[in-house]
């Protein structure tokens, strides 16, 4: 005989029926399942985009030529841009900066650029196509730090006869305003001059060689 004190059939201790618990569980399952399908669908949408960024394509993009507009570059200023994941410096040298290269010739390790750190068209005293425009990779040839641009002189804390140039704060390597390395510093060779060419008077293309006229 059924106990009269018992509540209505199917009512739990907190007033929730087993049927409603099943319904809630089903809804949670359907929500999760729908979310899963959405995530999979999103994966199919994103995949073509990810596939378009294959390593070979990224490598090509990193190695692609870079064009720089130097029309607004003033005397003594330096422009920095990225090429192949490295900083490239473009300096508009003043007549005094060009003259300084002769003054420190005896103090640099490779004044004639005998080590092949530049294209043939930049193998000269100024290490450039045009004496007034210097282009070089801004990575120290010791361990790859980025030297600071120090055109100011005198600066006896850097060198007794400092005429302006680049100083690497990591280990003290010094370079003149043509990127030639000073004697007696950790860096073994001059800064790298990348392939480059002029496209008109105010544009430089980094990554393409200058064609002889």
Ordered mean pLDDT values, 10 residues apiece, the chain (213 residues): 42 46 48 41 40 55 88 98 96 98 97 96 97 98 97 95 97 98 98 98 96 71
Question: How many whole angstroms separate alpha carbon 173 and alpha carbon 187?
Answer: 6
> What pLDDT is attached to residue 121?
96
> What pLDDT is attached to residue 86?
94
Q: Tokens 């600071």 identify what position?
A: 148
> What pLDDT is attached to residue 94?
98
Residues in the chain, how many?
213
Largest CA distance in the chain: 117
> What pLDDT is attached to residue 63?
76
The closest of 141, 132, 207 to 175, measured between CA atoms, is: 141
> What pLDDT is attached to residue 61?
60
CA dihedral over 19, 25, 28, 32, signed as positive or negative: negative
Question: How many whole angstroms separate alpha carbon 150 and alpha carbon 80?
Answer: 14
> What pLDDT is attached to residue 96?
98
Q: Tokens 């430089």 identify what position?
A: 204
**pTM score, whole prediction:** 0.72
């Amino acid at each position: 005989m059924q106990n009269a004190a018992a509540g209505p059939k199917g009512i739990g201790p907190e007033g929730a029926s087993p049927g409603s618990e099943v319904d809630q569980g089903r809804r949670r399952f359907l929500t999760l399942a729908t979310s899963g399908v959405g995530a999979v669908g999103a994966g199919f949408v994103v995949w073509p985009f990810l596939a378009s960024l294959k390593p070979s394509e990224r490598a090509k993009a990193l190695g692609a030529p870079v064009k720089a507009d130097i029309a607004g570059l003033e005397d003594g200023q330096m422009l920095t841009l990225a090429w192949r994941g490295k900083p490239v410096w473009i300096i508009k040298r003043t007549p005094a900066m060009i003259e300084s290269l002769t003054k420190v010739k005896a103090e640099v390790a490779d004044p004639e650029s005998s080590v092949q750190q530049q294209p043939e068209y930049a193998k000269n005293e100024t290490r450039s196509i045009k004496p007034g425009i210097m282009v070089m990779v801004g990575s120290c040839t010791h361990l790859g730090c980025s030297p600071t641009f120090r055109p100011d002189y005198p600066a006896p804390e850097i060198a007794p006869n400092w005429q302006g140039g680049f100083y690497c704060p990591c280990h003290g390597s010094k370079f003149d305003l043509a990127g030639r390395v000073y004697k007696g510093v950790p860096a073994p060779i001059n800064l790298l001059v990348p392939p480059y060419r002029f496209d008109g008077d105010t544009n430089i293309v980094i990554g393409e060689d200058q064609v002889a006229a």
